[in-house]
Amino acid sequence: LQQEHLLRAAVPQDALRLHYQPQIEVSTGRLTGFEALVRWQHPERGLLGPDEFIPLAESRGLVTPIGRWVLREACRQIKAWQDEGLARVPVAVNVSAMEFRQRDLVGEIKQVLADTGLDAQYLEIEITETTLMQQPEQARTTLDELRALGVGVTVDDFGTGYSSLAYLKRYPLDKIKVDRSFVIDTPSDGEDVAIVTAIVQLARSLQLQSVAEGVETPEQLGLLQRLGCELAQGFGIAAPMDAGSAHAWLQMQP
Ligand code: G
Ligand code: G
Ligand code: MN
Ligand code: NA
């Protein structure tokens, strides 16, 4: 109850933070975007990751205010960096299955883009395949509207949910994010190499971009380059960082 009370106060008391993890183009190392990752500056326990409070938020009806804050803050920040003349790259925002059900995502996005002045092409939404499968009709409508707006959609944690591959062609999607559990033991684990190879080929034949997450070593990056995986993210490239460090990272971009 105490935790719920504290979490309820987090948005009004400005206790949430966004960290940003760079995503790069594998072939050039060029920055292609940031993923926004929420944190909670807890009054006693320090900076908490989403796994430590999103479940509580979901059980207490707090996903909507938190999700709205994340969307608004991510758009505000990326626009502020653009206005400084820094490299223009998109920001990706995660939306859970429950948020996808409960929030009027398209209405909120239109409002936030209008309020912040951010162009829609600089916003991406990350949803899991489970979200798509649980809400097939809502997903179709929402994704069609996001496509019409010009907001990108990435399938997160690809390969880990219960799903049918049919949705990949039915829905307007832009990127597939290879789950880090498949990347972590490459290149030494031949079965994982086979899985990553298959996902990258599937993405390419459906004209979707592939993103590998959880890239920790140069050997993994080398493998991804050979496989033709366009984009990568992971501790071996850069860990999620606070806005100040992300700003410095942007300033180093040519
Ligand atoms: O940042 P970290 O690696 O601890 O994130 C753990 C999980 O939390 C990831 O699966 C990520 O998708 C999710 N996550 C991070 N930020 C957000 C957010 O703003 N909203 C939601 N719904 N999930 C998030
Ligand atoms: O899929 P999701 O949106 O949860 O992914 C974001 C999470 O992955 C964040 O919590 C981030 O800290 C974590 N992460 C990012 N890069 C790496 C990595 O290279 N290795 C591992 N183990 N986790 C990573
Ligand atoms: Mn994600
Ligand atoms: Na992921």
Across residues 126-155, what is the average pLDDT?
94
Please list the residues that pair with 38 across neighbouring strands. 18
Q: pLDDT exceeding 90 applies to what percent of the chain?
A: 91
Closest C-alpha to ligand 2, atom 18: 214
pLDDT at res. 254: 81
β strands within 91-174, DSSP E: 91-94, 123-128, 152-158
Across residues 101-130, what is the average pLDDT?
96
Query: Ligand 1 within 6 A of 38 CB?
Result: yes
What average pLDDT is seen over the chain?
Answer: 96
Indicate whether this model's pTM tops 0.95: yes
Query: Ligand 2 within 6 A of 235 CB?
Result: yes
Tell me the pairing of strands 16-25 and 209-212.
unpaired
pLDDT at res. 204: 95
What is the DSSP-derived secondary structure letter of residue 127?
E
Q: What is the pLDDT of residues 179-226, one digit of tens each?
A: 999 999 999 999 999 999 999 999 999 999 999 999 999 999 999 999
**Contact by Cβ (8 Å): 221, 26:** yes
Using the predicted structure, report yes or no on whether residue 175 has a pLDDT greater than 90.
Answer: yes
Q: What is the dihedral of CA 232, 157, 209, 146, to 10 degrees?
A: -120
**Contact by Cβ (8 Å): 37, 20:** yes
Cα of 201 from ligand 2 centre, angstroms: 23
Query: Ligand 1 within 6 A of 51 CB?
Result: yes
Across residues 6-29, what is the average pLDDT?
97
Closest C-alpha to ligand 1, atom 5: 50
152 to each of 62, 85, 162, 229, how far by Cα in Å? Answer: 25, 23, 23, 18
Nearest Cα neighbor of 129 from 179, 175, 163 is 163
pLDDT at res. 163: 76
Domains of the chain: 2-251 (3.20.20.450)
Q: What is the pLDDT of residues 39-97, one digit of tens each?
A: 999 999 999 999 999 999 999 999 999 999 999 999 999 999 999 999 999 999 999 99
Cα of 43 from ligand 2 centre, angstroms: 24
